[in-house]
Amino acid sequence: MINLRNIALWSLVVATIVQNAEALTLTGKVTKDGVPARYARLYLTGEQRPIRTDKTGTFTVTVSSPGTFTITPVVRGNFTSSPLNRLVTVNSSNVTELNFSLTRVTEKATARGRITDAAGAPLSNTAVQISGVGRIATDANGVFVRSGLSSGNYFLSANAAGLTFSPSLRQIKITNGRGVTVNFRGRPLDAGANIATYLSGLYTVSLSRTSGQCAALPSSISGAATVSQTKDRVRVSLPNLGATTLRATSNGFEGVVSKRRLGCTLNGNVKGTYSSQDQAAVTGNLEIVCPGQSNCSGSFVGTLKRQ
């Protein structure tokens, strides 16, 4: 005879076993520099294959039974994870908010070098300009050191009255805290030489619009500028105008500017006349042409001064 009471009891036991055997999930999110880390990899203890985040940086992993697990994100390159890993205990419910933040480690670096004359003797108290950083001077041995530089591109130039330097302008790239060494060699300016030969360096430009009423043309142009000279050409990089190659003259540079900006064409001419090795008077006329709009033009005047 069938014992209904035993059947009911066994049914309850089986139901309990099935319920306990239901899979449990662990869920979290990985960000990288504050944005979701797409397809980032993580490892769960006991699992050979990695877990991967989706397009939103979210991951979900299933565990078949309760226990204690460690989740560790894979960190590559110049990044660190916070936390490094997570120890999570799973009992009878799902676990969420297992989040990780990957952030870039910004290591500082040092730019150093030595400045000598043509015979190799050290040049002390010689100025070295580093773009975006400032000016430093060499010591008694002709050595300069600038520490604390973040990753990025920098221009370096040396400057002293009556001297020209090789290289005249040097661009360096700081990456992952690696230092850079740049040496300069100075020699006296040649008597009667074309001043354009000695223009290269870092400058501050300040131009004001003297004519023309047009919203498309700025009322002023100011900021950092670079000048590099090769043979009879001078390459000038001005704020808002970018780099333009101009013709070297006996006392400066001049030439035509032609640029495309946001669907518009910027045309004109620029002329620089140096009053000394460190400063030039700059004039220019610019016209901006935009499809479907009236043309507008203006004149600018100002200075280009070595930093």
**Are 196 and 229 a contacting pair, CB within 8 Å?**
yes
Answer whether residue 5 is part of any domain.
no
pLDDT (tens digit, 9 = 90+) per residue, 257-305?
Answer: 887 766 778 788 888 887 776 778 888 888 877 777 777 788 888 887 7
List Cβ neighbours of 215 (8 Å cut-off, separation of 6 or more). none
- Predicted TM-score of the model (pTM): 0.53
Based on C-alpha coordinates, what's the Rg of the chain?
A: 33
Query: Is residue 218 in a domain?
Result: yes
The dihedral sign for the CA sequence 8, 13, 17, 22? positive
Is there a domain that residue 10 lies in? Answer: no
pLDDT digits (tens, 9 = 90+) for 51-67: 999 999 999 998 888 88
Q: How far apart are CA 105 and CA 103, in angstroms?
A: 6
Q: Indicate if 87 and 116 belong to the same structural domain.
A: no
pLDDT tens digits, residue range 238-267?
776 677 788 777 777 888 888 776 677 878
Per the CB < 8 A criterion, the answer to whether 103 and 79 are in contact is yes
- 216 and 238 assigned to the same domain: yes
Q: How far is CA 165 from the centre of its chain?
A: 28
Q: Are 99 and 114 members of one domain?
A: no
Is residue 213 assigned to a domain? yes
Establish if 6 belongs to a structural domain: no
Q: Is residue 204 located within the same domain as residue 177?
A: no
pLDDT at 122: 93
> Is residue 114 located within the same domain as residue 91?
no
Residue range 133-150: mean pLDDT, rounded: 90
Query: Of 104, 124, 153, which closes a domain?
Result: 104
Whole-number pLDDT of residue 222: 79
Nearest partner of 225 among 233, 236, 234, 216, judged by Cα: 236
* Two structure tokens written together for 12: 């309850």
Mean pLDDT on 223-246? 74
8 Å CB contact between 149 and 174: yes
Q: Which domain holds residue 81?
A: 17-104
The pair phi, psi for residue 140, each rounded to 5°, is: -65, -20
pLDDT number for residue 7: 45
| 204 plus 299 within the same structural domain | yes
**In the chain, % of residues over pLDDT 90:** 22
Of 161, 235, 174, the C-alpha closest to 200 is 235
Which of 188, 209, 229 delimits the end of a domain?
A: 188
pLDDT at 99: 95
Which residue did the predictor score with more confidence, 75 or 105? Answer: 75
For residue 19, the model assigns a pLDDT of: 45
Residue 158 inside a domain? The answer is yes
State phi, psi for 202 to the nearest 5 degrees: -100, 135
**CATH number of 183's domain:** 2.60.40.1120
Domain harbouring 292, CATH code: 2.40.128
Does some domain include residue 70? yes
* Same domain? 149 vs 136: yes
Place of tokens 């319920």: 19
84 & 179 share domain:
no
User: 283 lies in a domain?
Assistant: yes
- Overall number of domains in the chain: 3
Asked whether the CA dihedral 45, 47, 49, 51 is positive or negative, the reply is negative
Q: Are residues 289 and 216 in the same domain?
A: yes
- Residue at a domain's end among 104, 126, 141: 104
Burial per residue of 14-43, b for 16 or more beta-carbon CB atoms within 10 angstroms, e otherwise: eeeeeeeeeebebebbbbbeeeebeebbbb
**pLDDT value of residue 184:** 92
Q: Are residues 230 and 204 in the same domain?
A: yes
Residue 267 · residue 289 · CB < 8 Å: yes
Strand pairing category for 252-261 and 41-44? unpaired
Residues 40 and 120 in one domain: no
Provide the 10 A C-beta neighbour count for residue 115: 26
- Say yes or no: 145 and 208 in one domain: no
